[in-house]
Every structure is written in structure tokens, then in C-alpha cells.
Amino acid sequence: MTMADHVLDVLISENEIKLRTAELAQQILASYQGQDLILVGILKGSLYFLADLSRHFPPSIEIDFIQVSSYRGGKSSTGVVQIRKDLDINIEGRDVLIVEDVVDTGTTLLHLLELLQTRRPNSIKVATLLSKRQAKNVDINVDFVGFEIEDEFVVGYGLDFGERYRSLPFISILRNLPSASE
Ligand code: IMP
Ligand code: MG
């Protein structure tokens, strides 16, 4: 299959992302009142969002990454989450902001929050660029949401389909997915 086989409709433009990211950053900053933050990006989808969001923060913020097993080769989820790359920074007593690309069922975040809580941070909050409107499978609190979207499979600005399309500067709906990837 070639790239041309996929239809890419723009859902959220580059400029909309830019404006919303700036707004969100101000909201986040206001809620922390000068505390020293650690931004924890969930690899790889949060790559661009974290890069753009972090540039609105004071230079004293720390940045780290965690990678959990991608249980989605295509679109389906097994609900199993494993750590593939752990944090370098000790988060005990620290204020942690998890930066995620999209919260869908909430499974990934739930497991990650459980794990990070065992390390006794002072606080953990979550900022996600996208949140799917459909009822979450799990009861999870997301503190900062960029955009609420419908239950569609999206790519771009870090989000991938089989590792492709991450570098698109906008968010796009991927409609004609091959059924073999399910
Ligand atoms: P959840 O565990 O169901 O909330 O899924 C979260 C993870 O699944 C995200 O971090 C993404 O890696 C992936 N994911 C969910 N929806 C999409 C999508 O529409 N496009 C690309 N990746 C997605
Ligand atoms: Mg992700």
C-alpha cells in the first residue's frame, strides 16, 4: 500500500493547534503558580505537542520521556501496557505533568498513572492534545485537554498509523483504513 491510498482530511489545522497550545500552556502555568515542573512526554505520539507546549514554559522546567508498549499495530487494543523506556528523572516529591497525544479508551493513561503514583510524586496532572468524546472504558481524570474529537482514527502532529504520518503539521482523519490492520 502506498501513501496515496489513504485519504487525508484536515480535522485540526496547524494554526488551530498553535493557538490552542498557547492557550493551554497559559492555563497550565496559572494552575501551578511557579512550582518546578517535570514534563513527561509519552513516546512517541507526544513528540510535537510536548516540543511546542514546552516552549511556552520557563526554561527551568525539566523534560523526560516514558515509552509504553504500543499495543496498537492497527486500531485495536488489547489493554496491556508495558514500560519500554522508563524515566531518567526521579519524580519523588516532584510535580509531574504527563503530556499525551490522545486519550481514547484511557487504558494507557490509567496504567501509567498507577505506576507513576507508586514513585510518590507530589502531584501528577495530565495534558492531552486530543480526547475522544466516546465514553472512556475507565474512570480517568484528564486535567488539560486541547481538543475534544469524535471517535475517528486520526494521524499527524505526532500521531501515527503504522509509524507513518507523524510529521504532518496538522491533525487529519484517516478514513479508508485497510481492514488487514485491525
Ligand atoms: P487508549 O489507551 O485507548 O486511551 O489509547 C491511547 C493510545 O492509543 C494513544 O497514546 C495513541 O498512541 C493510540 N491512539 C488512540 N487513538 C489513536 C488515533 O486516533 N490515532 C493514532 N493513535 C491513536
Ligand atoms: Mg500515545
pLDDT tens across 103-144, in order? 998 988 998 999 999 999 999 999 999 999 876 667 788 999
- Global pTM reads 0.89
> Residues enclosing ligand 1, CB less than 6 A?
45, 72, 77, 100-108, 153-155, 159
Q: What is the pLDDT of residues 60-107, one digit of tens each?
A: 999 999 999 855 544 555 555 789 999 999 999 999 999 999 999 898
Mapped onto helix, strand or coil, the DSSP state of residue 150 is: coil
What does the pLDDT average to over 42-67?
Answer: 97
Phi and psi torsions of 38, nearest 5°: -115, 120
The pLDDT of residue 70 is 57
φ/ψ region of 51 (left if φ > 0, alpha if ψ in -120 to 50, else beta) reads alpha
Cα 104 to averaged position of ligand 1 atoms, centre (Å)? 6
Measured from the Cα of 81, ligand 1's closest atom is 2
- CA dist list (Å): 113 to 21, 28, 132: 23, 19, 19
Cα 165 to averaged position of ligand 2 atoms, centre (Å)? 14
Active site residue 104: yes
Q: Average pLDDT of the chain?
A: 88
Please, are residues 143 and 30 in contact by the beta-carbon 8 Å criterion? Answer: no
